């Protein structure tokens, strides 16, 4: 870990890679694989962060992940028997995070699955396709749509209202929504694959439940620490925020994932919204924010100001989106400072990117924001991202490309630690 001094001259790119943060010692628990989620970080980051806190003589009794995503930190906190608080603006994220932070009785899981399948097989499937939400019709063939609707009714009928078991089966349901649709497999952007072969809904659901049951078997002896997962924006004053010893998080990337778009199938099926575009509101890093650029970009710190000025010459709308991202991240630094107990640590995993040859130095911008927010010390190190990408650029559709005018994807990222 390098302590950042002489901030103005500090060059993040020259920070050496620290192998301590590259890999974990243990195999990841199956619970981390119960549901796909873009940009989730490896589980061992939490273990390493706790090791680091111990080296620094910090006793951690409470952890927060302010962008908890699919609950990687939430699950690892539970594994270490530490109280966890997390929030995420994406309701699909918090559904997964909540599911991962609980333990389930094997017998009850089997009983509910049997009841759900029994309902599915013994009651007639109703044809709801033509009265369905237009967006859902766009993504499904009629048979798959009707089977999914029937399965969903079965889950609601056969599991207790408000119970963790209902969430468990809804999480299983959510994770089969892409494979049973015509969504192009493994695409990071919503795209139809007209040649995709239709799959059997109930067989896919059973397989998904088996995977999740096996994940639950693996955690039988784990701790019972309390976890609280909230759906809401970390930046919104309505989201109640506790005091904690440590924050372990990875912020959203700048303008690369539209989580609302990527999770539209789950959000529509689970009635989180009737129009998935509404869920873009307040999401940090989204391209779709309305704000007063002319007035607000003056509040950018030095690093933000320099990058946005460079971008303004090349791509005005990109410059606006990046400025909004930086302004939000400045607020994130302030709120993080407030929620930490004295001597507490905030750990961020953050990557840089490049757009039209302008380096978007997110790490430097966040480090400056942490300093301005009052952190007594900011430290950094670099880690290698394990899945090496052969070509470092992505085009406008997010596809890999060798065109250097696109968005550059680095194979390294930074660990930034602020000490209160
Ligand atoms: C890089 S992901 C975090 C992934 C997480 N570490 C995991 O392992 O799943 C960033 C998350 O920030 C969330 N997010 C974006 N804007 C937010 C906001 N204003 N408040 C809370 N969460 C937000 C996104 O929904 C996304 O889940």
State pLDDT tens for residues 29-49. 999 999 999 889 999 999 999
> How far, in Å, from the CA of 213 to the mean position of ligand 1?
26
> How far, in Å, from the CA of 85 to the mean position of ligand 1?
14
pLDDT tens digits for range 185-207: 888 789 999 999 989 999 999 99
Instruction: Give me the pLDDT at residue 394, please.
Output: 47
Which of ligand 1's atoms lies nearest the C-alpha of 90? 25
Q: Two tokens at 254?
A: 């700048």
Residue 98 has pLDDT above 50, yes or no: yes
> How far, in Å, from the CA of 208 to the mean position of ligand 1?
24
Tell which residue, 204, 250, 189, 216, has the closest CA to residue 110. Answer: 216
> Biggest alpha carbon distance in the chain?
71
> How far, in Å, from the CA of 198 to the mean position of ligand 1?
31
pLDDT tens digits for range 298-314: 999 999 999 999 999 99
**Hey, whose CA ends up nearest to atom 3 of ligand 1?**
69
Mean pLDDT of 114-131: 97
Handedness of CA 36, 41, 46, 47 (dihedral sign): positive
Mean pLDDT of 13-18: 92
**Hey, whose CA ends up nearest to atom 26 of ligand 1?**
69
> How far, in Å, from the CA of 395 to the mean position of ligand 1?
23
pTM of the predicted model as reported, rounded to 2 decimal places:
0.94
Mapping DSSP onto H, E and C, the string for 284-299 reads: CCCCCCCCCHHHHHHH
Q: Two tokens at 105?
A: 């009785």
Lowest mean pLDDT among 131-140, 171-180, 393-402: 393-402
Instruction: Give me the pLDDT at residue 391, please.
Output: 42
Across the chain, what does the average pLDDT equal?
Answer: 92
Q: Residues enclosing ligand 1, CB less than 6 A?
A: 37, 39-41, 67, 69-70, 72, 87-90, 93, 233-235, 250, 252, 259, 282-284
**Hey, whose CA ends up nearest to atom 27 of ligand 1?**
69
> How far, in Å, from the CA of 249 to the mean position of ligand 1?
9
Q: Two tokens at 162?
A: 């408000």
Instruction: Give me the pLDDT at residue 87, please.
Output: 98
Q: How many percent of the chain have pLDDT more than 70?
A: 94
Residue 395 has pLDDT above 70, yes or no: no
Instruction: Give me the pLDDT at residue 387, please.
Output: 58
Mean pLDDT of 50-68: 97
Q: How many percent of the chain have pLDDT more than 90?
A: 81
Among left, alpha and beta (phi > 0; psi -120 to 50; other), residue 263 is alpha
> How far, in Å, from the CA of 103 to the mean position of ligand 1?
23
> How far, in Å, from the CA of 251 to the mean position of ligand 1?
6
> How far, in Å, from the CA of 119 to the mean position of ligand 1?
36
> Domains of the chain (ranges plus CATH)?
2-90+228-419 (3.40.50.150), 106-218 (no CATH)
**The residue to which tokens 């019972």 are assigned:** 224
**Hey, whose CA ends up nearest to atom 18 of ligand 1?**
233
pLDDT tens digits for range 334-375: 999 999 999 999 999 999 998 888 999 999 999 999 999 999
Mutate to test the pocket of ligand 1, among 93, 249, 330, 362 (most ligand atoms within 8 A of CB): 93
Tell which residue, 389, 318, 383, has the closest CA to residue 354. Answer: 318
**Hey, whose CA ends up nearest to atom 22 of ligand 1?**
88
407 to 25, 145, 215, 417: CA distances (angstroms) = 33, 36, 36, 26
Instruction: Give me the pLDDT at residue 389, please.
Output: 41
Q: Two tokens at 76?
A: 């690892």
> How far, in Å, from the CA of 253 to the mean position of ligand 1?
9
pLDDT tens digits for range 60-90: 999 999 999 999 999 999 999 999 999 999 9
**Hey, whose CA ends up nearest to atom 17 of ligand 1?**
283
pLDDT tens digits for range 246-290: 999 999 988 678 889 999 999 999 999 999 899 999 999 988 888
**Hey, whose CA ends up nearest to atom 7 of ligand 1?**
40
**Hey, whose CA ends up nearest to atom 8 of ligand 1?**
40
Mutate to test the pocket of ligand 1, among 284, 285, 327, 362 (most ligand atoms within 8 A of CB): 284
Q: In what order do the strands lie in the sheet with 62-65?
A: 2-3, 377-384, 412-419, 340-350, 244-249, 62-65, 83-88, 227-231
**Hey, whose CA ends up nearest to atom 19 of ligand 1?**
233
Instruction: Give me the pLDDT at residue 385, please.
Output: 86
Instruction: Give me the pLDDT at residue 409, please.
Output: 63
Instruction: Give me the pLDDT at residue 289, please.
Output: 86
Instruction: Give me the pLDDT at residue 8, please.
Output: 82
Residue 399 has pLDDT above 60, yes or no: no
């Amino acid at each position: 870990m390098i302590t950042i001094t002489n901030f103005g001259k500090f060059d993040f790119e020259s920070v050496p890679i620290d192998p301590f943060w590259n890999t974990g010692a243990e195999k990841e628990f199956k619970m981390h694989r119960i549901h796909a989620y873009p940009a989730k970080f490896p589980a061992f980051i939490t273990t390493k962060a706790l090791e680091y806190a111990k080296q620094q003589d910090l006793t951690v009794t409470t952890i927060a992940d302010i962008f908890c995503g699919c609950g990687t930190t939430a699950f690892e906190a539970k594994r270490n028997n530490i109280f966890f608080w997390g929030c995420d603006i994406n309701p699909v994220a918090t559904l997964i995070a909540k599911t991962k932070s609980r333990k389930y009785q094997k017998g009850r899981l089997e009983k509910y699955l049997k009841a759900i399948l029994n309902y599915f097989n013994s009651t007639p499937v109703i044809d709801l396709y033509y009265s369905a939400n237009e967006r859902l019709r766009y993504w499904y063939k009629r048979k798959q749509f009707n089977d999914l609707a029937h399965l969903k009714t079965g889950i609601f009928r056969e599991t207790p209202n408000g119970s963790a078991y209902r969430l468990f089966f809804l999480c299983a349901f959510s994770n089969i929504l892409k494979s049973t649709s015509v969504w192009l497999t493994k695409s990071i952007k919503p795209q139809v694959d007209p040649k995709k072969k239709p799959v059997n809904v109930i067989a896919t659901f059973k397989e998904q439940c088996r995977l999740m049951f096996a994940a639950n078997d693996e955690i039988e002896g784990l701790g019972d620490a309390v976890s609280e997962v909230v759906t809401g924006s970390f930046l919104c004053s309505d989201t109640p925020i506790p005091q904690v010893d440590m924050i372990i998080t990875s912020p959203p990337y700048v303008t690369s994932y539209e989580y609302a778009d990527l999770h539209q199938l789950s959000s529509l099926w689970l009635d989180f919204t009737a129009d998935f575009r509404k869920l873009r509101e307040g999401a940090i890093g989204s391209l779709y924010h309305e704000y007063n650029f002319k007035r607000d970009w003056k509040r950018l710190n030095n690093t933000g100001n320099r990058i946005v000025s460079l971008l303004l010459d090349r791509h005005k709308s990109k410059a606006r989106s990046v400025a909004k991202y930086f302004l939000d991240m400045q607020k994130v630094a302030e709120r993080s400072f407030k929620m930490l107990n004295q001597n507490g640590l905030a750990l961020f995993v953050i990557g840089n990117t490049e757009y039209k040859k302008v380096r978007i130095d997110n790490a430097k911008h966040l480090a400056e924001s942490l300093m301005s927010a009052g952190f007594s010390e900011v430290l950094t190190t670099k880690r290698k991202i394990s899945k090496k990408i052969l070509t470092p650029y992505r085009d406008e559709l997010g596809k890999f490309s060798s065109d250097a005018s696109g968005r550059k994807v680095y194979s390294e990222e930074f660990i930034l630690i602020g000490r209160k």
